[in-house]
Amino acid sequence: MNNGAQGFIQETEEMNSSEFQPLSEFLLVKPKELNQEVKTDFGLIVEQKRSVVDRSCSGEVLAIGKKASEETDIKVGNYAIWVATKGIDIKFKDGKFLLLDYQSLIGYRKD
């Protein structure tokens, strides 16, 4: 699976994320946005390059594949945490998302 660190984004802009159903062991998540700008002491705003070090590793679960739903307690709407180097970046009409293998999850917020 692509780790996303190489800047690869699978573009599927012909549909919204709500129209996508992951297969088998995969989850579709909306990663939490990271601040990509830093303001210096002098007031300059410097845009930061995205790297695996600052890649989001938490967000909301939007859709769950059949195997993932059978083998875990995670549900749509849960806030999950995963290994930052895992997942495939996907761009839909309504934004950027991440497709993860459920085994990449570290945990999730209990209801």
Reported in sequence order, the residue ranges of 1-111 that DSSP labels E, i.e. its strands, are 9-11, 26-31, 37-39, 45-47, 58-64, 79-82, 88-92, 95-101, 105-108
pLDDT, residue 41, reads 76
Nearest 5°: phi and psi at 96? -100, 135
* Contact (Cβ atoms closer than 8 angstroms) between residue 61 and residue 75: yes
- pLDDT band at residue 1, thresholds of 50, 70 and 90? very low
Mean pLDDT in the chain?
82
* Per-residue confidence (pLDDT) for residue 22, from 0 to 100: 95
For 12-59, the pLDDT digits (tens) are 768 999 999 999 999 999 998 765 666 777 777 666 555 545 677 899
What's the Cα-to-Cα distance from 42 to each of 38, 39, 49, 103, 110, rounded to whole Å? 11, 8, 20, 44, 43
Residue-level pLDDT at 16: 92
With 80 as the cut, is the pLDDT of residue 8 above it? no
pTM check: above 0.95:
no
- Could you tell me if 9 and 87 are in contact, meaning their C-beta atoms sit under 8 angstroms apart? no
* 35 contacts: CB under 8 Å, gap ≥ 6: none
110 contacts 99 by C-beta, under 8 angstroms? no
- 6, two tokens: 């190489």
